Amino acid sequence: MAEIAFPKAILAALAIAFVAACTPTVQVQAPTEPITINLNIKLDADVRLKLEKDAESDIKKNPEIF
């Protein structure tokens, strides 16, 4: 059997191509849709305000409870 001899330049080029093909790539992309943050602050504040007013009126109507 005859062995095939590769020149060192070809082996080096193949090694570089092999290493370059195996390097991982990381891609960072901005989202296509806008980011939405849903805050229900107004609703929560309204509910608390109503509950506080109801509690104050109940205390005024029935001061002997407390």
pLDDT in tens, 3-15: 566 678 888 888 8
pLDDT one-digit tens code per residue, 31-62: 899 988 887 666 667 778 888 888 888 888 88
Of 66, 48, 43, 45, give the one whose Cα is nearest residue 58.
66
pTM of the model: 0.33
* Torsional sign, CA 26, 28, 31, 36: positive
* Cα–Cα distance for residue pair 43/46, rounded to 1 Å: 5
Task: Find out whether 7 and 13 touch, Cβ atoms under 8 Å.
Answer: no
